[in-house]
Structure 1
């Protein structure tokens, strides 16, 4: 589904449901071993809310079983399904959502999203619609941004009228500030003040400070934290991203106002004549969002290493290669007489996709660790990394998450294990 189609279905809805799909929610579509399941598990909090139809017992001989049939619409293929909800109250709190199109769940990337809505006006017999959005596509990133989904998101209900993540009071304040500058003739000064987005270093520092204040910490010493990986993920994917979006809104809004107010004598002329500049502005915004994430992730890892008093060298060039972090330093890494365990390489990538393969080609005669906060890595990719002797380092919550493939993989460790077991602090 394209972005505009997704937004169209959102606009038709009075309530929305988003669930990050667990592996159990999808494996049945890929393997006959799970054929008895044929559906998605719905958590108790959603079962007890008003999104799905009410369950009822229809068989007095089995009073522990509650269920209800209902029609669903799947816009990606346009098909209607006779779906069913069933809750075995003697087995646990989750409800089973069956009668869903198998092909929508087959082969999807880990941590993909199921989006559904209650239609304001029914279509056919269906009052509910659903779609699966693969986490490997841009539409998943759009959904995460629109609903401001945190790094540890699992499921939730949303009001489609309030899904824009920028708080209304901030929006109103910016409108008032821009309007005042325009009317007072000080627009140029305002634009100049927000002409540059904060540097990755500044944003990273602000996010780290905010996290420490929130948790009453004086440093980000990983040895003093029970879940340093979760802290890293929260700082980089939640706190810093919110700071960035606030700064970006001010920067891009001011730039658009400048283009509109200088490209013509009326709004029509301004839009038409200023379109190339507007187009370039929005393209720049998209590219900048993607490029900044990796740089800030490295900043946060460097902060943990520094506060933990761990010796490291960042972006050191060796033999035409530039690993993100060398521990303890480049001199030790290049020492031909050292032992294998005297040095290690730590690479950092917020999202992996196929980019991990470039690390496999870089042989350093030492252990190679790859840090990430990406929960979308497939089991096959993890196995490929193991064959290349690459160890993944992930946040503590992702290692055990139902949505990821990390739990039983021996070449996947937590940040806590990395710092406590792989780092030799002398």
Structure 2
């Protein structure tokens, strides 16, 4: 690791750090009181619990390890007696190499590791100094003082930055739904450091997170694409209605396919065997077939090991559409984001062999007496897995 890298890492991992350009006044070249680094008045938190008070001196002895190489027993002192009102860092021993005329213009970095132990670095090249500023998010005008602690970036901040970077990279007004779903999911997983094991252990939670992230990304794109449109007065009601319908239709068409894309990823991570959009009797195309259409078409394959899953964001009026999607499969599973269905409709679904699958968080919205017949996504995965092992 280079001296630059060590200086950056040390400053980033410390509660208090300081930087300044070395000046002639530090080296004694100006004929000042003594050689030693002049420290700005706001540097007192490096060494003291409170600022120095005019009328008295105070000091603090510390050990400083320089360039991760050698140590000095040094003195931080506040001069407040008489006309003086300054802080200095002194006592480096004979032959100290960083207080010469050649060091003027170098960057001094001091990092507090404990009350009495510090790390010191001196960066000489322009490139090293600029790289240090960039890593610590400061400019050359912000030296000669305590380096501001960088506020740790939150997961929400990282997610938004990932969204904005994606929007900026787009070459089209709106990307295909699958691209939108994939990028929203990728942004969420990377921003929140989600692992495959976390997804496997709680697929219900992660699915809802992905859906929410995708909708947020979609709205980010909308706000970017329509910002000029909504600032410009419409010339007629017809123009307003046309624009509104375009926006609403795009929203509706995205939602259904979005659910399918994220479910597919959940099943892939769960290591299930499945196919999507296969063709069965009467040219029907169920959303998910487990394990595959070859098994479904094989009359010798055990029907009890065939599973169908349809996905619909809402299903109050559309659940009957799945009844004839696969004649060999008696129980049709239907994943929905619908929250709450009447007892009569649930009983009718049960009579027709439809079993609902819902996110665990939505289960409480259904009548108590019917919850035992409703699967969570995790429960459905377990059912399918049992047919494939």
- One of 225, 243, 249 as aligned partner of 1:287: 249
Q: Residues of 1 paired with 2:234 and 2:369: CA distance?
A: 52
Task: Look up the match of 2:147.
Answer: none
Task: Look up the match of 1:381.
Answer: 345
Rg larger in structure: 2
Alignment partner of 1:247 is 2:221: yes
CA contact (8 A) 1:398 1:406 kept: no
What are the within-5 Å matches in structure 2 for residues 62-141 of structure 1? none
Q: Residues of 1 paired with 2:226 and 2:302: CA distance?
A: 52
Q: Residues of 2 paired with 1:296 and 1:221: CA distance?
A: 21
The 3-state SS of whatever aligns with 1:216 is: coil
Deviation at 1:194, TM superposition (A): 7.5
Higher relative contact order (CA 8 A, sep 6+): 1
Q: Residues of 2 paired with 1:191 and 1:416: CA distance?
A: 36
CA contact (8 A) 2:285 2:325 kept: no
Q: Residues of 2 paired with 1:359 and 1:323: CA distance?
A: 8
TM-score, with normalisation over the residues of structure 1?
A: 0.47
- One of 204, 213, 222 as aligned partner of 1:229: 204
Q: Residues of 1 paired with 2:335 and 2:198: CA distance?
A: 17
What are the within-5 Å matches in structure 2 for residues 7-18 of structure 1? none
Q: Which runs of 5+ in 2 are unaligned?
A: 1-159
Deviation at 1:408, TM superposition (A): 3.8
- One of 297, 300, 303 as aligned partner of 1:334: 297
Task: Look up the match of 1:361.
Answer: 324
Q: Residues of 1 paired with 2:198 and 2:295: CA distance?
A: 24
Deviation at 1:191, TM superposition (A): 12
Alignment partner of 1:321 is 2:284: yes
Task: Look up the match of 1:405.
Answer: 367
Q: Residues of 2 paired with 1:419 and 1:215: CA distance?
A: 24
- The total of aligned residue pairs comes to 223
The 3-state SS of whatever aligns with 1:271 is: coil
**Aligned in 2, Cα 1:300/1:254: closer, same or farther, shift over 3 Å?**
same
**Aligned in 2, Cα 1:304/1:246: closer, same or farther, shift over 3 Å?**
same
Root-mean-square deviation (CA), in Å? Answer: 3.0
Q: Residues of 2 paired with 1:249 and 1:358: CA distance?
A: 35
Deviation at 1:381, TM superposition (A): 1.6
Q: Residues of 2 paired with 1:377 and 1:193: CA distance?
A: 40
CA contact (8 A) 1:197 1:247 kept: yes
Q: Residues of 1 paired with 2:195 and 2:291: CA distance?
A: 24
Q: Residues of 2 paired with 1:416 and 1:391: CA distance?
A: 14
